[in-house]
Chain A
């Protein structure tokens, strides 16, 4: 039986800064809360084709599952949690602006 599609966002690294980015409504955004949450697999496939073509802006496009139980997208895996926040040892990365 095929695995049910779970809510997901499209993520990548920005070409120039290497920073973690997410596809928002119509552009790449830095904050996970601004990401477009995709709930339909066919839409996800289409968005992946569109965003993967943007290699002048980003590197390594992929889908990452999110948890929507709190109303906003939250990472379901610890790797994505670190990508969304930054490293543990310094307040560097995205957490610098929090």
Chain B
């Protein structure tokens, strides 16, 4: 993985020292809150419902064991012994005190981590496929280009005050595990005539006005990518609406101006700035790529794995749901579920973080990834090591066999933590997971993605959930709207609103009716919820959700 240079380390040290002074000046009264707020946000520090929240970037979701251990130590020393992994491949600490934050940032810098641009109207943490560098279906590892984009965008003088926040995601596979079509810019590495380049998608996003991104270019050569990105963001910076924050994201700019107009403007800007890119970025990329060289994979007998798979049904169940195909023979990608039934989606205790760090070091070539689905990935594990790994995960409460199933729910922090939220998300996720665990239906139901947001900003990606749940405030009462048929993959689709919302007491029974309806409606056990929905449409599911409406109509 990428190792910081002396320049990187010096930059972080100076930035943290600057912020330490700003915190001191806020505490001694030299800075007002109005003056201080933009400065703290530039360093990832929010003030939420009950406390400050520090959002730390995990660039393209990649960590090593030492970094994960440092995150655990920060949780113990300055927080409450846990951290919350988010859909943006960040970690959030929910309880820091203002005076401690500079020390937290220094501790992060020691392991090459930071909180820069995790807030504000700027280019945020660049995200990527969480199976990057390991997936069997990968054209190329998306992380080197994600790192180049991180370096280009960090403290970029032109892009610190964009009309709104700006999110970039990169995938190196045909199968989209990074939700690239719901980002301001989505990049997919593609191959044409044996040459690698990028499909460039712009104007996707969820939130108040959900939109699927449009293809701006179907192929951009690797050496032209950075000037192309600079041209896009530059056009958006000029054209994006600053008069109305709800219309300020690039998705609205693309929608209002049309993709052809945006393309013409980007083309013109590109021609102007292209000569400034003299090839230095490609030299930097070559150095970065060397840092992402594959580990030395081992060759070992698969007997231990095959024996465990045959003889241990608990191991088999976990292997069937939590493993994915790896590019190297004998290897697997392991998804560690942070969704134990009844637990808070995305939370890991400091002890669990330390154990995952140790497992990565012992069994996983010292690599970890954070997924946008709020789980942790060990990307390179030889199958011979899986029985021992599984036993250790069980001891740590990390062996829940539910990846991609109904209890593997994305849930934003909601009103339990977030100052913007209009309803809670976490208790709804906990209750759904607990209910379906009790019903012992989860594995029969099969692949089903539930995503929950506690407000219209859609941090929980509810629009692209097969079942999406949006929490709202209706006359001072929590109310939950359901959307159906959303999809965050390469077939990206915005879910369709099913009808009136449900109270907090009624939402879980409504989800249960929906799932039982699917079990009745599916052609066979091989037809997923999403496939059944696409075959039959909303009507039969709506009838299950609102049986009283059906009775009234009769």
Contacts and interface: CB of A to CB of B under 8 A. Distances in A.
Contacts of B51: 17-19, 93
Contacts of B32: 55
Nearest to A83: B49
Nearest to A77: B476
A92 to B, nearest CB: 6
B478 A78 contact: yes
21 contacts: A13-B47, A15-B33, A15-B98, A16-B99, A17-B51, A18-B47, A18-B98, A19-B50, A60-B47, A77-B476, A78-B415, A78-B473, A78-B476, A79-B473, A82-B49, A83-B49, A87-B50, A89-B416, A90-B80, A92-B95, A93-B50
Interface string A65-98: 0000000000011110011001111101110000
Interface in B42-96: 47-52, 80, 94-95
B426 interface: yes
Given A89-B344, A89-B426, 14 more contacts: A13-B47, A15-B26, A15-B98, A18-B98, A19-B50, A20-B50, A55-B33, A76-B476, A82-B415, A88-B426, A89-B430, A93-B50, A93-B51, A94-B50
Interface of B: 26-27, 29, 32-33, 47-52, 80, 94-95, 97-99, 344, 347, 415-417, 424, 426-427, 430, 473, 476-478
Nearest to A79: B415
A89 B431 CA distance: 11
Given A17-B51, A78-B478, A82-B49, A88 B427 contact: yes
B263 to A, nearest CB: 43
A66 to B, nearest CB: 14
B427 A18 contact: no
Contacts of A76: 476
Interface string A50-74: 0000011001100000000000000
Interface of A: 13, 15-20, 55-56, 59-60, 76-79, 82-83, 86-90, 92-94
A16 B97 contact: yes
Given A59-B33, A88-B416, A88-B426, A18 B476 contact: no
A56 B427 contact: no
Contacts of B52: 18
Given A16-B98, A55-B33, A86 B476 contact: no
Contacts of B47: 13, 18, 59-60
A62 to B, nearest CB: 12
A76 B476 CA distance: 8
A84 B442 CA distance: 36
Nearest to A13: B47
A19 B47 CA distance: 10
Contacts of A89: 344, 347, 416, 426-427, 430
A76 B477 CA distance: 10
A87 B33 contact: no
A82 B49 CA distance: 8
Contact of B424 (A17, A59, A77, A88): A88
A77 to B, nearest CB: 5
Given A19-B51, A88-B426, A82 B97 contact: no
B36 to A, nearest CB: 9
Nearest to B49: A83
Given A56-B29, A89-B416, A83 B426 contact: no
Contacts of A18: 47-48, 50-52, 97-98
B340 to A, nearest CB: 13
A48 B427 CA distance: 34
A61 to B, nearest CB: 10
Contacts of A82: 49, 415-416, 424
Contacts of A78: 415, 473, 476-478
- Give the residue among B27, B49, B94 with the most A Cβ atoms within 10 A: B49
A83 B33 CA distance: 21
Contacts of B424: 82, 88
A16 B47 CA distance: 11
Contacts of A87: 49-50, 416-417, 426
Nearest to A57: B29
A86 B33 contact: no
Nearest to B426: A89
Nearest to B96: A18
Contacts of A13: 47
A12 to B, nearest CB: 10
Contacts of A15: 26-27, 33, 98
A96 B426 CA distance: 19
A88 B347 CA distance: 14
A32 to B, nearest CB: 13
Contacts of A77: 476
A1 B537 CA distance: 48
A67 to B, nearest CB: 12
B344 to A, nearest CB: 5
B133 to A, nearest CB: 33
A87 B416 CA distance: 5
Contacts of B427: 88-89
B531 to A, nearest CB: 33
A29 to B, nearest CB: 16
Contacts of A88: 416, 424, 426-427
Nearest to A85: B50
A17 B50 CA distance: 9
Contacts of A60: 33, 47
Contacts of A16: 27, 97-99
Nearest to B32: A55
Nearest to B422: A79
A86 B426 contact: no
